[in-house]
Amino acid sequence: MGKNNSKTPQAIRGTQDIFGAEAESFAFVVETFERVRKLYRFRRAEFPVFEKTEVFARSIGETTDIVSKEMYSFEDRGGESLTLRPEFTAGIARAYLTNGWQQHAPVKLATHGPLFRYERPQKGRYRQFHQIDAEIIGAAEPQADVELLAMADQVIRELGIEGVTLHLNTLGDGDSREAWRAALVEHFRSVKDELSEESQERLEKNPLRILDSKDRRDQRFVADAPKIDAYLSDEARAFFDAVTGGLDAAGVKWVRAESLVRGLDYYRHTAFEFIPDEGSAAADALGSQSTILGGGRYDGLIESLGGPPTPAVGWAAGIERLAMLVGEKGEGRLNVAVVSEAESTDLLAAWLAPQLRWKQLSVELFNVGGLRKRYDKAVKANPQVLLVLDDKTSVPHQIGVMRVRSLTHNKSIDPDTADLIRDALEGKLWLGGNRIIQHGHEIELEHDPLAE
RNA sequence: GCGAUCGUAGCUCAGUUGGUUAGAGCGCCGGUUUGUGGUACCGGAGGUCGGGGGUUCGAGACCCCUCGAUCGCCCCA
């Protein structure tokens, strides 16, 4: 709110502070990606979040929106123009060249982290956002595309996301793409005056984009626009057939999307997006954003950075968008709540908690405030087991009593948890007597572990 | 860059056609039921109603400007 305006700086527009349930969903996406990429033997890599501006300007394309108006660029103290990465691929290509990773080619890389684009924020779109990313560099074969897409498909399915479909297209090789582009320009130029204002501009800058315009005025002319298929070379056709055949064999469902083009200049051959199905719950959750994962083949990119001709293919997916589709991920139930009733049992509690945590039980300590508040908070934390420490003992060498409470409805304690608690304490805190970890039991604490 | 909607307590919100000292729930702090089941009861702290200007006898409500948020266009993940 505004109260602290004069004192507290505000967060940068389009950045997010992620906490609680949302943070759990975010982590679930990353963890799932990490697990799956290992199954496909993609190697983990880390890259700088900023690069020389030319890394992006030269590879992504000067006329793209990203380069022309969305980059966070600045001069460092040496006067060099640097840019916060707006995407992963260009920086990875640079790293491939400057580190001599040709020696590893073909190399399968996986990474994730923040990206930055100066855009107007809205649902599913931020100025600092996060992606998971997978690339195969140095592989010209369609089998690489297939494996990469199979991995994308598995990530999405293991996330439990439904109602999302792989939309697949080919842009052909460089010559095919140029011939098709020229034909499109000619087609749309003939009806230029009837196109939307935006598409009239696109005609000069980015004619392929007219194909997926949402404007009805444009859509009339999209239907009979030239198709890429008519311009594909035999090689490009064969390549695409090999990709689709491989996807079928791998059990990856896909649909042909003839008008799917990707925004960046460097794409060749395979281009794809995973898009929620019309009317699905996923589509609702994403608002007006549609693509959750996108990518393609970029055989020309590495050359544009001064490297040798190097085939490559990759994809990236928005973690925030995926997280919106995975549903609530709880923080996991608390295993044990420890309530220390007396000042004299606080140290006992401080000793007990880590013993249990070393047994991989989650433990939360309740040792401040009034007794009633301690119990209120402990119960509200919804632990499986409530352990109460108090010093009400009349036996001289006893240091206290631990009472066991189950907070499950049937007052039973999960036997594995009970075993872990007993193992943690065995021989350390008490000997003889009642050692049963069950609801309602009181256990006499006879030895002071702190004194040993 | 353009458009629409919205800013009241830490959070979610209420606040009649403008009318005394601005409200609730949750959360927080303290107390009681003589200490134990997602409680109950009592009390307390916390707001210059985003900010600035204007209209009015009187503005949280109306007007202008500004800042911010949300959603959409463009574009993208």
| pLDDT tens string A23-39 | 999 999 999 999 999 99
Residue pair A273/A294 in contact (Cβ under 8 Å)? The answer is yes
**Phi then psi for A255, rounded to 5 degrees?**
-130, 150
Please name the nucleotide lying closest to A317, CA to C1'.
Answer: B77
CA to C1' distance (Å), from A112 to B74 = 27
CA gap A352, A333 in Å, rounded: 19
pLDDT band at A451 (very low <50, low <70, confident <90, very high): low
Q: How far is the CA of A128 from the C1' of B50 (A)?
A: 25
Lowest mean pLDDT among A68-77, A276-285, A296-305, A399-408: A399-408
For the CA of A162 and the C1' of B77, the distance in angstroms is 18
Does the pLDDT of residue A242 top 90, yes or no?
Answer: yes
CA atoms within 13 Å, Cβ hemisphere of A215: 14
Point out the residue nearest to B31 (C-alpha to C1'). Answer: A370
Q: How does pLDDT run across A41-62, given as a tens digit for each residue?
A: 999 999 999 999 999 999 888 8
Give the total residue count for chain A: 452
**ipTM reported for the complex, 2 dp:** 0.86
Is residue A395 scored above 70 in pLDDT? Answer: no
Q: What's the rounded Cα separation, in Å, for the pair A69 and A442?
A: 69
- Which nucleotide has its C1' atom closest to residue A214's CA? B73
Question: How far: A376 CA to B30 C1' (Å)?
Answer: 15
* Domains in chain A: ranges and CATH: 20-173+233-325 (3.30.930.10), 336-451 (3.40.50.800)
Tell me what pLDDT residue A433 has.
Answer: 62
pLDDT at A1: 36
pLDDT for residue A425: 82
Distances A443 to A10, A389, A399, A413, A415 between C-alpha atoms, Å: 52, 10, 11, 16, 17
Q: Is the pLDDT of residue A120 over 50?
A: yes
pLDDT digits 0-9 by tens, A193-206 = 888 877 887 887 77
Nucleotides in chain B with any atom closer than 7 Å to protein CB: 1-3, 7-11, 28-33, 35-40, 47-48, 50-51, 68-77
